[in-house]
Structure 1
């Protein structure tokens, strides 16, 4: 669950990106529940997430793990500065724009270092 205060802070950070604002408003409408918001947004962009699969967002985030865990973005992710990585995701077309913030917030809430651990050298 994402704290609604954080969502308000992110709205300021992403004020110039309409898709990000739609994502943040959807997360707020879902009372901070990223899974519910991601499913709603996925349906909006024409995807068909498995409603019975409560791990759908986890699977989507794992598909984006390589992009999220790049060393040049990891410190920003840990500190909650998502804008640079958001813009990188847009350029790479990693996932639909409306789903980028739910994915990034999921990885942040999970714990960036823990989320990226499978990609870290031993």
Structure 2
């Protein structure tokens, strides 16, 4: 299980202060006690009024091509999710709140690890 700490949620709240949909996503993550595995399907269901037909891993896979672009990876490795949430939502055709939670998930996993980038660079 991938978990976000209350301190991390607070930091993301500061970054995303002017994005109401992202703040709702953070509220949902808090409601799920930081467990992204629980929060992502719940967010997806609330945002689309549909049962989540994909697991967390399926949604991450759908976003992989966008997330693994060097500039996006660099933002995520630095803990900056605000600049990529909206482009990710548009690129993967997913709701903004879901994109917020997935961005946080990749941050927690490590973007380079998620994208299989060797530590030596590239």
Task: Tell me the TM-score normalized by structure 2.
Answer: 0.85
Residue aligning to 1:17 = 19
Equivalent residue, structure 2, for 1:47: 50
Give the Cα–Cα distance (whole angstroms) in 1 for the partners of residues 71 and 107 of structure 2. Answer: 15
1:1-122 to structure 2, matched below 5 A, reads: 1-44=3-46, 45-49=48-52, 56-92=55-91, 94-117=93-116
Shift of 1:91: 4.0
Moved more, 87-96 or 76-85: 87-96
Whether contact under 8 Å (2:6, 2:30) holds in the other structure is yes
CA RMSD of aligned residues (A): 1.9
Aligned residues between the structures: 115
- Matches of 1:69 and 1:8, distance apart in 2: 26
**Is 1:39–1:49's contact at 8 Å kept on the other side of the alignment?**
yes
Q: Gaps spanning 5+ residues in structure 2: where?
A: none
Distance 2:68 2:50 in 1: 25
Instruction: Measure the CA separation in 2 of the matches of 1:30 and 1:101.
Output: 15
Unmatched segments (≥5 aa) in structure 1: none
